[in-house]
Amino acid sequence: MQQDQRKKSSAEAEFFTEYGDASRYKIQEIVGKGSYGVVCSAIDVHTGEKVAIKKIHDIFEHISDAARILREIKLLRLLRHPDIVEIKHIMLPPSRRDFKDIYVVFELMESDLHQVIKANDDLTKEHYQFFLYQLLRALKYIHTGLMFITGT
């Protein structure tokens, strides 16, 4: 039991690097790794809500990646739709000098579309139709929202 607690504490210490809001979240486990960083599940100790925290390493290492990440964050902060993941919070670094990594807190999803398709060999035509329906609903919402924002 104590060894598990020590592992979690060290995982939290490795995941958060002295960010001011780090005490607000209790890290549960690493749920994924991608090209931009690591995603873990956590609990917001203020609200009790389960969240996903995406740590993006060395955000300014490649300027094109930094621009892409900024664009994604700016858009997702504006979008509110059941078929689009919601950004709950963005954790700021303790100082500008220490601004190397960024932490984005999202609502926690049970899985992603890739995992669902990969894990199920018995998906029916209706499953794929529903996936497509959700994708098109989200795309229509994004398109409508961008038209409103840009005025075109």
Which CATH number do you get for residue 65?
A: 3.30.200.20
101 and 121 housed in the same domain: no
**37 or 128, which is more confident:** 128
57 and 7 housed in the same domain: yes
The three-point CA angle 140-142-148 to 5° equals 105
6 and 75 housed in the same domain: yes
130 and 71 housed in the same domain: no
The three-point CA angle 71-74-79 to 5° equals 120
SS3 105: strand
Domain boundary among 92, 109, 126: 109
118 and 44 housed in the same domain: no
Q: Per the annotation, does 26 bind a ligand?
A: no
- Model confidence at 2, pLDDT cuts 50, 70, 90, reads very low
Domain boundary among 94, 109, 124: 109
Distance CA(101)–CA(89), nearest Å, equals: 15
pLDDT higher than 80, residue 22? no
Q: Give the per-residue pLDDT at 151.
A: 57
Q: Give the per-residue pLDDT at 5.
A: 47
φ, ψ for residue 58, nearest 5 deg: 40, 60
55 and 117 housed in the same domain: no
- Please say whether the beta carbons of 76 and 84 come within 8 A: yes
Number of domains in the chain: 2
87 and 148 housed in the same domain: no
89 and 14 housed in the same domain: yes
99 and 121 housed in the same domain: no
- Mean pLDDT over 93-120 rounds to 85
Domain that holds residue 115: 111-152
- Please say whether the beta carbons of 56 and 70 come within 8 A: no
Q: What are the tokens at 40?
A: 């873990």
Which residue matches tokens 């038209």? 147
65 and 137 housed in the same domain: no
- Model confidence at 130, pLDDT cuts 50, 70, 90, reads very high
- The alpha carbons of the chain give a radius of gyration, in whole angstroms, of 18
83 and 152 housed in the same domain: no
- Model confidence at 125, pLDDT cuts 50, 70, 90, reads very high
pLDDT digits (tens, 9 = 90+) for 136-146: 999 999 888 76
117 and 45 housed in the same domain: no
Q: Kindly give, in sequence order, each residue whose CB lies less than 8 Å from that of residue 131, ignoring residues fewer than 6 positions away.
A: 113, 117
